[in-house]
Amino acid sequence: MNLNLYGWGHSIDNAQWMMIDLGITFAGSAEPGADVLMPDPSFIEDRKDQLIGLVLTHAHEDHLGAVAHLWPELECPIYATPFTRTLLLGKLKEARLEKRVEIIEIPLKGRFNLGPFDLELITVTHSIPEPNAIAIRTPKGLLVHTGDWKFDPDPVIGDPADEGALKSLGDEGVLALICDSTNVFSPGTTGSEAALYDNIKNLIGQYEKRVAVACFASNVARLETVAKAAAANGRKVVLAGRSLKKFDAAARKHGYLTGVAPFLDEEEASSIPARETLIICTGSQGEPRAALSRIASGDHRHVKLSKGDVVIFSSREIPGNGASIARLQNALCRNGVEIISGKSHFVHVSGHPSRDELSHMYQLTRPKIAIPVHGEFRHIQEHAALAKSCQVPHAIEASNGDVIEINDSGATLIDQVFAGRLSVEGNRLVPTDGALFQSRNRVLWNGSIVVSVVMDEFGDILAEPVMTTSGLLDDDDQDIMDDVLDIIPKTLQNISKIHQKSDKDINETLRVAIRRYFRKTLNKKPITTIHLTRLFNSD
């Protein structure tokens, strides 16, 4: 989930700030019940009068997916190329923000000013239309922010990366290169999208029944590759998944997919013979509400897969999604569906640069400073070492929240600001390190118990206590429930001068006694809540 800030000024608090990208990421096991996460923009939210604009490099969710959630806290103009603007506008309409947000459309290779920053879009290639690096000219020097990219000589959709422009920037003198680190451990080059066509075409031709291809909806080039491979095998293409239809419509609106016949709707899938059907569907990461998961569970209204059908996973496994993908593939296999993935066949190429491409980027731009971004810390550390091996004088290993001062003498870490995470919870955003997820994780691992007690002022119980547990006891644990109900009167009897004690003190004494029992009996520390009612004699 990307959020980058560039500030120009004498200090953090009097700088003019420009934001590049504002995205989301998948939630993990540490955030039970959450679907997606996004950066907590508190730092710049507190200084939003200094935020002069948000520039989007491209339309992937990890670069723009948080805009509709967080823009009301920022209220700045947004700059995007035509394809990216169309997809963002759709998200803003869903959030009923389209009339409030100012989106300035920038043409490909466009150049514009934003406060003290002179910005130029540089065409690169990636797994989505209209990806851009950004040349950022400042009074202190030229920075190049690569966004997501690779060098693909035949990208299928869009133009190849503008290596001439990158070399010209190097000739001009690049002070710092802020660069994608995702594939730094991958040797060689990533490979071209066009190289997939023959292999996917031949693979589809081996099967007599239905073929489904799971891929990222945003990979418009992959849609074209698969559609042409299907046509070569006499198959009609059905799109299954709302996001696929959105990207298809946006792509055709902006002149992409011109050589591809219109896709069929899901409702038409059942009327086409299996041998003539190819289904492109969302859900390659095992997302539970995506089309492929619903197909695997038999819950999809229109698309069915059965024994002898095949699913081609034409995508990479995003780190952290392995378990959900495995569950999905197991569900498909139980239905007799064959699974094909990149582990056994050449059905996917990445959209990020491998080591040789990173080295070539440094040869073209020749920066004085390398600031690796977009990766886990181990990627950033390895990328910094690679940059130094490419004769870059300075390389800095940055973490979330680091404030880096860039000047002719190098890059220096000068401060660390808050950089938390937010989760979408219904119609609100909550911090992932706050009380909600702390208590949710405690319940997940230790369970919870609520006990209601009615007593008189002297501690005599006036009604049978009521106990409710969650995630703590099984159906055959009645003996434990009986023990807890016995603990309550014994604990009350042991409280000296109970009629002089406050409700708070009695409540805490009961809570500690019950927790101590579960810790000793089950080695668990459940969240324990006591609802205490005391009735006093009015005489």
pLDDT the model gives residue 430: 85
- Residue closest to 484 by CA, chosen among 472, 467, 470, 498: 467
pLDDT at 539 over 60: no
Read off the tokens for 263: 């896709």
pLDDT at 36 over 90: no
Does residue 18 contact residue 53 with C-beta atoms inside 8 Å?
A: yes
Rounded to the nearest integer, the mean pLDDT of the chain is 94
What is d(CA 313, CA 214) in angstroms, rounded to the nearest whole number? Answer: 5
What is d(CA 400, CA 418) in angstroms, rounded to the nearest whole number? Answer: 9
pLDDT at 511 over 90: yes
Instruction: Identify the weakest region by mean pLDDT among 17-31, 155-169, 274-288, 500-514.
Output: 17-31
Q: H-helix or E-strand containing 511?
A: helix 503-522
Q: In the predicted model, what is the mean pLDDT of residues 230-258?
A: 96
- Provide the CATH topology of domain 447-535: Ubiquitin-like (UB roll) (3.10.20)
Q: How confident is the model over 398-414, as pLDDT tens digits?
A: 999 999 999 888 899 99
pLDDT the model gives residue 433: 83
Read off the tokens for 361: 């980027």
Domain 193-340: state its class.
alpha beta
Instruction: Identify the weakest region by mean pLDDT among 49-58, 226-235, 261-270.
Output: 261-270
CA distances from 465 to 53, 333, 387, 454, 505 (A): 59, 50, 68, 7, 18
**pLDDT band for position 125 (50/70/90)?**
very high
pLDDT at 502 over 70: yes
How crowded is residue 89: how many other Cβ atoms within 10 Å of its Cβ? 17
pLDDT at 28 over 70: no
pLDDT the model gives residue 207: 96
Q: Decide: residue 438, CB within 10 A, 0-12 exposed, 13-18 middle, 19+ buried.
A: exposed
Q: In the predicted model, what is the mean pLDDT of residues 76-90?
A: 98
Q: In the predicted model, what is the mean pLDDT of residues 68-75?
A: 96
Architecture of domain 1-106+416-429: 4-Layer Sandwich (3.60)
pLDDT at 198 over 60: yes
Q: How confident is the model over 443-482, as pLDDT tens digits?
A: 888 999 999 999 998 888 999 999 999 999 888 889 998 9
Q: SS3 for 243?
A: helix
Query: For a pLDDT cut of 70, what percent of the chain falls above it?
Result: 99
Domain 107-192+349-398: state its class.
alpha beta
List the chain domain ranges: 1-106+416-429, 107-192+349-398, 193-340, 447-535
Tell me, yes or no, if the two domains 1-106+416-429 and 107-192+349-398 fold the same way. yes
pLDDT the model gives residue 538: 60
What residue type is assigned to position 488 of the chain?
A: I
Read off the tokens for 328: 């999905």
Q: H-helix or E-strand containing 428?
A: strand 428-431
Q: How confident is the model over 323-375, as pLDDT tens digits?
A: 899 999 999 999 999 999 999 999 999 999 999 999 999 999 999 999 999 99
pLDDT the model gives residue 29: 63
pLDDT the model gives residue 32: 65
Q: In the predicted model, what is the mean pLDDT of residues 227-254?
A: 96
Q: How confident is the model over 417-437, as pLDDT tens digits?
A: 999 999 988 778 888 888 888
Q: SS3 for 225?
A: helix
Instruction: Identify the weakest region by mean pLDDT among 109-113, 260-264, 310-314, 484-488.
Output: 484-488
pLDDT the model gives residue 408: 85
